[in-house]
Chains A and B, each alone.
Chain A
């Protein structure tokens, strides 16, 4: 039973992740990171450039005012050049504020713009606020020298950042578009790459999957270097499997031969001897001997049959076959044995019944059921054998004692023998074999007792 179950679950592989998904997720993840990075870098670089552009214009404006300042007639004269403001015109009509301080004292402009003491010559930039708008301020100081006085003139010019923000928004959008495009491209590329990388593996898996269970040819088609160890191992494994399969079959055949031939010698000698001795106790012991030989040979035979059937069921190769013909032929070959016991075999089959299965396994299972029925059938009775097409079922009915009702469930279990089988030779494996074959063909073995007496064993497919 356990072997049957393991056969069913062999193709249910424990799955831990997917190579394809892992690769895909990694590549897409990398693409995402790169795209984000690209976006951030482009944006911040552009922001820097835009800011420095604004700073340069502000500084030019400040410089032009400072350059125009002079001390004339002992008086500080700061006349704002028209250009100092006109160069500050922007696309977004940014607002501007300015202030001129002389030695820290407010001279003209917006007195809300705070004075920042600083050394002459430096141009400084800082962010500030004006009427709740963010502004960028450039400030520089120049020392004016007159005939008998000096003055420190500071000019601050601030400008709102609306135009800059507009440019930044546009750049951000473009950078985002660029990043997104990059991401989409990378994702498409990843998909293509992943599919391509996985393709040989998929191809290999499919080609192995397409094979029949008995197809143990080596994988010949070229594979990428990374897969070579796997395919190599697979080939070696297949080779070993084929060898061991061949060995198994040979071993079973050889074992049968080795066991059966000596048993045949002993049995024939015993039988011959039995014909020659006359003393009752000698005859009795000869009979006992023959019976023991029969039991052991039958047990050995069924064990080997069972081994062979398990082996074949694990590598089940179904082929279309005519069940009717198979049953007819089987029954024909069993008639001489039935005749010996004066048991009639009656068989009904459809004209033709094509079925996908393993002929050897099916024949063996059916033979076991008929054997069983003949063993328990009383002399001069009939064993009925019915093959039906819809549903496909093979039933053997006898007029023997039937199955013990309390054991009917466990009867098919290995080595279980009916309690009323005392005196009958048999290992009990017959029903187990029949059930294994039925299961291997997707069916089951039904055992029941007939109302009119006798047993009915049915292989249901």
Chain B
């Protein structure tokens, strides 16, 4: 996916960009409103992450500009202000959602997905592996064209695996990606999720193999 990150704090922008890169996203960074306007006018983005306090003005003026141009790219506001004081006007001005700094990356991703799902405007292609497909926007897994109903965490686990098939993920890493850091989850939970997904994959040409001591891998049977 292609993100436009409008953030005047260079270090935070770097950190967010590199975190998004890990997930395989492309990020353009603008550090002031003028640049942001230029970027959004010239390129197509799947999502815009907008800081609200910028050196050359309030992020709200960008929002106004953006909506005047009939752009329907969803905007998620990154705010450092109190939720109490800013929330209403941001939503009124046309932001789709907001995240308060500092944010959990998993939450940011969840909100991005939710916003994209609402807007149906993503150009993201389905991921195919064997006879299994995954639609990251709709969060839908299909086995032989048949939709499979998975729980949210199972989906996210499967998304991790199908994004990098044939690659081994350690239990530890999966844990970190699936659970927020304030949850005490044993790695056994991963085993439970893997077990469930495997069941669904039974009729397909795809399976999850266990590599003792290393982790799990999605591969063709």
What are the interface flags for A337-362 relative to B under an 8 Å C-beta threshold, 1 for contact and 0 otherwise? 10111100000000000000001110
CB of A225 within 8 Å of the partner chain:
no
Further contacts, 20 of them, CB under 8 A, given A267-B103, A275-B176: A252-B82, A253-B86, A260-B101, A261-B9, A261-B12, A264-B12, A265-B11, A268-B102, A271-B19, A275-B173, A294-B102, A301-B83, A308-B85, A339-B152, A342-B151, A342-B152, A342-B153, A360-B85, A364-B83, A375-B182
Name the CB-closest residue of A to B184: A423
Instruction: Verify B172–A264 contact, CB threshold 8 A.
Output: no
Instruction: Verify A360–B15 contact, CB threshold 8 A.
Output: no
- CB-defined contacts of B106 to chain A, threshold 8 Å: 340
Q: Which of A249, A260, A280, A380 contacts B100 (CB 8 A)?
A: A260
The docked-state distance in angstroms from the alpha carbon of A139 to that of B30 is 126
How far does the Cβ of B172 sit from chain A's closest Cβ, in whole Å?
Answer: 6
Name the CB-closest residue of B to A375: B182
Can you report 6 A-B residue pairs in the complex whose CB atoms are below 8 A from each other?
A: A256-B81, A265-B102, A305-B84, A335-B114, A375-B182, A423-B182
The docked-state distance in angstroms from the alpha carbon of A63 to that of B192 is 144
The docked-state distance in angstroms from the alpha carbon of A283 to that of B175 is 11
What are the interface flags for B101-119 relative to A under an 8 Å C-beta threshold, 1 for contact and 0 otherwise? 1111111001101100000
The docked-state distance in angstroms from the alpha carbon of A339 to that of B151 is 9
- CB-defined contacts of A271 to chain B, threshold 8 Å: 19, 105
- CB-defined contacts of B172 to chain A, threshold 8 Å: 280, 283
The docked-state distance in angstroms from the alpha carbon of A228 to that of B44 is 64
Q: Which of A252, A261, A425 contacts B101 (CB 8 A)?
A: A261
- CB-defined contacts of B182 to chain A, threshold 8 Å: 291, 294, 375, 423-425
Instruction: Verify B82–A363 contact, CB threshold 8 A.
Output: no
Within 8 A of B (CB), among A379-433: 379-380, 423-425
Instruction: Verify B114–A336 contact, CB threshold 8 A.
Output: yes
The docked-state distance in angstroms from the alpha carbon of A184 to that of B173 is 97
With A304-B82, A364-B83, A423-B182 given, is the CB distance from A257 to B110 under 8 Å?
no
- CB-defined contacts of B66 to chain A, threshold 8 Å: none
Within 8 A of B (CB), among A261-303: 261, 263-269, 271-272, 274-276, 278, 280, 283, 287, 290-291, 293-294, 297, 301
The docked-state distance in angstroms from the alpha carbon of A276 to that of B173 is 10
Binding site for B on A (CB under 8 A): 249, 252-253, 256-261, 263-269, 271-272, 274-276, 278, 280, 283, 287, 290-291, 293-294, 297, 301, 304-305, 308-309, 312, 333, 335-337, 339-342, 359-361, 363-364, 367, 375, 379-380, 423-425
The docked-state distance in angstroms from the alpha carbon of A387 to that of B77 is 29
The docked-state distance in angstroms from the alpha carbon of A275 to that of B97 is 26
With A335-B114, A340-B152 given, is the CB distance from A263 to B85 under 8 Å?
no
- CB-defined contacts of B105 to chain A, threshold 8 Å: 268, 271
The docked-state distance in angstroms from the alpha carbon of A216 to that of B76 is 36
Majority-rule SS of B interface residues: helix
Instruction: Verify A261–B82 contact, CB threshold 8 A.
Output: no
Q: Which of A260, A272, A337, A339 contacts B18 (CB 8 A)?
A: A272
Instruction: Verify A305–B83 contact, CB threshold 8 A.
Output: yes
Instruction: Verify A333–B100 contact, CB threshold 8 A.
Output: no
Number of residue pairs spanning A and B whose beta carbons lie under 8 angstroms apart: 130
- CB-defined contacts of A294 to chain B, threshold 8 Å: 102, 104, 181-182
Instruction: Verify A264–B114 contact, CB threshold 8 A.
Output: no
What are the interface flags for B124-141 relative to A under an 8 Å C-beta threshold, 1 for contact and 0 otherwise? 000000000000000000
Name the CB-closest residue of A to B16: A268
How far does the Cβ of A344 sit from chain B's closest Cβ, in whole Å?
Answer: 10
Instruction: Verify A380–B151 contact, CB threshold 8 A.
Output: yes
Q: Which of A274, A290, A359, A424 contacts B88 (CB 8 A)?
A: A359
- CB-defined contacts of A339 to chain B, threshold 8 Å: 110, 114, 152
Binding site for A on B (CB under 8 A): 9, 11-12, 15-16, 18-19, 22, 53, 78, 80-88, 97, 100-107, 110-111, 113-114, 151-153, 170, 172-173, 176, 180-184
Instruction: Verify A265–B12 contact, CB threshold 8 A.
Output: yes
- CB-defined contacts of B183 to chain A, threshold 8 Å: 341
Name the CB-closest residue of A to B51: A261
- CB-defined contacts of A333 to chain B, threshold 8 Å: 97
Name the CB-closest residue of A to B173: A275
Instruction: Verify B88–A268 contact, CB threshold 8 A.
Output: no
- CB-defined contacts of B18 to chain A, threshold 8 Å: 272
The docked-state distance in angstroms from the alpha carbon of A252 to that of B181 is 28
How far does the Cβ of B156 sit from chain A's closest Cβ, in whole Å?
Answer: 8
The docked-state distance in angstroms from the alpha carbon of A283 to that of B183 is 15
The docked-state distance in angstroms from the alpha carbon of A267 to that of B108 is 13
The docked-state distance in angstroms from the alpha carbon of A263 to that of B100 is 11
How far does the Cβ of B67 sit from chain A's closest Cβ, in whole Å?
Answer: 19
The docked-state distance in angstroms from the alpha carbon of A260 to that of B101 is 6
- CB-defined contacts of A424 to chain B, threshold 8 Å: 182
The docked-state distance in angstroms from the alpha carbon of A308 to that of B85 is 8
- CB-defined contacts of A253 to chain B, threshold 8 Å: 81-82, 85-86
Instruction: Verify B80–A360 contact, CB threshold 8 A.
Output: no
The docked-state distance in angstroms from the alpha carbon of A342 to that of B155 is 11
- CB-defined contacts of A304 to chain B, threshold 8 Å: 82
How far does the Cβ of B19 sit from chain A's closest Cβ, in whole Å?
Answer: 5
The docked-state distance in angstroms from the alpha carbon of A272 to that of B17 is 10
Instruction: Verify A257–B176 contact, CB threshold 8 A.
Output: no
How far does the Cβ of A292 sit from chain B's closest Cβ, in whole Å?
Answer: 10
The docked-state distance in angstroms from the alpha carbon of A153 to that of B81 is 120
How far does the Cβ of A369 sit from chain B's closest Cβ, in whole Å?
Answer: 15
- CB-defined contacts of B97 to chain A, threshold 8 Å: 333, 336
- CB-defined contacts of B83 to chain A, threshold 8 Å: 301, 305, 364, 367
The docked-state distance in angstroms from the alpha carbon of A424 to that of B151 is 23
Q: Which of B82, B152, B181 contacts A290 (CB 8 A)?
A: B181
